[in-house]
Amino acid sequence: RVAVMAMDAVVNTRCGTLRGTEADGIRTFLGVPFAAPPTGANRLLPPQPVQPWPGIRDATDYGDSPPQVAPPVSAGFDWDTGLSGGDCLNLNIWTPSAGAAGGPGVGTAGLPVMVWIQGGAFEVGSTAAYDGRNFARDGVVCVVINWRVGADGFLFLDDGHANVGLLDQVAALEWVRDNIADFGGDPGNVTVFGESAGAMSIGVLLSIPRAEGLFRRAILQSGAAHHVLPALAAERIGRSLAEKLGVPQTREAIAAVPVKRLLTAQTELKTELLAHPDPEHWGHDVVASLMPWQPVIDGDVIPRRPIDRIAAGAGAHVNVIVGTNTEDWKLFLAITGVLARVTEEGLSGTDSIEGFPPPASYGLPVRAALEAYRAHYPGATPGDLLAAVQTDWWVRIPAIRLAEAHSNAARTTGAGTYMYEFAWAAPGLGAVHALEVPFVFDTLDTNARLFGPLLGENPPQELANAMHAAWVSFATTGDPGWPGYEPASRATMRFDVTQDVVNDPRSWERAQWEGIR
């Protein structure tokens, strides 16, 4: 198909007029502000309303990314950290043109809306890595949002402010509620979807009062509702950061520190944590994840552990898909070269393994667990065993627990719960973390930035067709095309070159972690 030359697309929003671009039946608006710049008096504080602008605002280029440390090798490839800047609370929108099939103005109802929350260990992230045009091609308004990461987003000082990065996500969803109809979307039919820390964020959003009513459906890819820090551990991190900066342990003092110095201090703190993962100093939850910046159970924004609130009924009216990749956490061991260097002694130790949490930190009776995993995976190397334990602890068991909790709570509401496993193996890697993202976005043909280098040559387009269509179907109707998850059968869609539904495919792992995770 011959591309049509891009032309201007103009939309009026509550805060002013935006000029984007229109080509090939898709209108694109980039760098749209959903909150005021978190600089000056707004630094390290909850997001403030965006101020109306005069005239027409250009929305043809990506906006700033949030301030962030340089991503580690284990985080993947191109994060566009060079776009970092102060006006970072912005989002990108792809929507069908008015004359396109299914576009606004065709029919009487607005289009389904999908809002992507990106991952990055709560430390890095850039919207420029994600292209939503193929969702728009298929009749969906796709929105990709920025949110503050690192200390900017998750500094906790027990001072009445917490989880401002999570509140950025809430503010973006409120903006979508108030403005997305101007782009052809239905504010009553919003699906949030995200991967890794983005999915973990959605697990929190499902559980918190401030996000109630902002989305109708949720898709969690390789992340669920377990990863939050207790207030005491988070306050230790905040105190350590203030000490490294040489300033009082106050938000005002830390906010006055230049951004570059703050990021340097964050890097120093992370380096120290990796070198000395002492639970007595950092807290067990920090050592188990080696993620110092996470959502915090502050008693206000996050009242208590998200998985517990979901089990008690929070989010029971929301339709949910949750899933993982078969060898999810193997990615980080493989691309850093650690996979081949893990030894039996290292598996049994209490020290971190070249920048990865010590096996003992996962809370399993380590010796018995390793014996069980060796018996279950008789041909596995020590590195493969570590990858299996990490995959189960980080994402697989939390995903199963979320499906269990949500399906039980949703029995009285009629909301659906669905589970999947992404099983297609990339050459030389396996079905690892983040590999499913370009299939979900259907961007294999563009060698998607950030994830494209994982795919090898000729990744299966038929798998992208199937997975992308399932996500679109779910966002449109609430039904992705396979049976719901029930404790009796635990139906799980396995995505590979061919797709099939498997009942309870992870029964051994589920039983192994019962009462532990």
pLDDT in tens, 126-177: 888 899 999 999 999 999 999 999 999 999 999 999 999 999 999 999 999 9
pLDDT at residue number 140: 97
Q: Which of 362, 464, 484 is nearest to 418 (CA)?
A: 484
Spatial contact of 351 and 249, defined as CB atoms under 8 Å apart = no
Residues 177-233 have pLDDT tens digits of 999 999 999 999 999 999 999 999 999 999 999 999 999 999 999 999 999 999 999
Q: Please tell me the distance from the alpha carbon of residue 205 to that of residue 306, in angstroms, as a whole number.
A: 8
pTM of the model: 0.94
Helix, strand, or coil (residue 96): strand
Residue from 401, 419, 433 nearest 495 by CA: 419
Percent of the chain scoring above 70 in pLDDT? 90
| pLDDT (average), residues 286-293 | 91
Task: Please identify which residue in the block is written with the tokens 């990863």.
Answer: 227
pLDDT top residue among 497 and 85:
497
* Radius of gyration, alpha carbons of the chain: 22
- The pLDDT tens digits for 46-89 are 999 999 999 999 999 999 999 998 765 444 444 454 456 689 99
* Phi–psi pair at 455, nearest 5 degrees: -80, -25
Tens of pLDDT, residue by residue over 386-413, are 899 999 999 999 999 999 999 999 999 9
Q: Which of 274, 226, 247 is nearest to 403 (CA)?
A: 226
pLDDT at 368: 74
Mean residue pLDDT across the chain: 90
Q: How big is the CA angle at 341 (ends 335 and 347), to the nearest 5 degrees?
A: 110
- Using CB atoms within 10 Å of the CB of residue 488, give its burial: 0 to 12 exposed, 13 to 18 middle, 19+ buried: exposed
- Beta-strand (E) ranges in 237-390? 296-297, 319-325
Please report the pLDDT score of residue 410 as a whole number. Answer: 95
Measured between alpha carbons, how far is 228 from 226 in angstroms, rounded to an integer? 6
Q: State which amino acid sits at residue 144.
A: V
Output the pLDDT for position 79.
46
CA distance 133 to 94: 6
pLDDT for res 82: 47
Among residues 250, 298, 291, which one has the least CA distance to residue 75? Answer: 291
> What whole-number distance in Å separates Cα of residue 165 and Cα of residue 120?
13
First to last CA, the chain: 50
pLDDT at 517: 87
Among residues 318, 279, 325, the alpha carbon closest in space to that of 119 is found at 325
- Stated as kind and residue range, the H or E segment containing 273 is helix 259-275
> Is 467 within 8 Å of 440 (Cβ atoms)?
yes
3-state secondary structure of 368: helix
Residues 6+ apart with CB under 8 A from 63: 30, 31, 32, 33, 83, 85, 87, 88, 90, 127, 146
Average pLDDT over residues 96-117: 71
Q: Are the beta carbons of 394 and 303 closer than 8 angstroms?
A: no
Residue-wise pLDDT tens digits, 25-52: 999 999 999 999 999 999 999 999 999 9
What is the pLDDT at residue 76? 47
Tokens, residue 316: 């029971």
Poorest-confidence range of 8-12, 324-328, 358-362? 358-362
Higher-confidence residue of 121 and 364: namely 121
295-335: pLDDT as tens digits:
999 999 999 999 999 999 999 999 999 999 999 999 988 98
Judge contact between 488 and 417, C-beta under 8 A. Answer: no
Cβ 38 vs Cβ 51: under 8 Å: no
Please report the pLDDT score of residue 36 as a whole number. Answer: 97
Residue by residue, what is the 3-state secondary structure of 417-475?
EEEEEECCCECCCECCCCCCHHHHCCCHHHCCCCCHHHCCCCCCHHHHHHHHHHHHHHH
Share of the chain above pLDDT 90, in %: 74
pLDDT of residue 349 exceeding 50: yes
Cα–Cα dist 32/232, whole Å:
36
Sign of the alpha-carbon torsion through 78, 462, 196, 116: positive
pLDDT for 1 beyond 80: no
Query: Per-residue pLDDT for 462 more than 80?
Result: yes
Contact indicator for 66, 152 with CB cutoff of 8 Å: yes
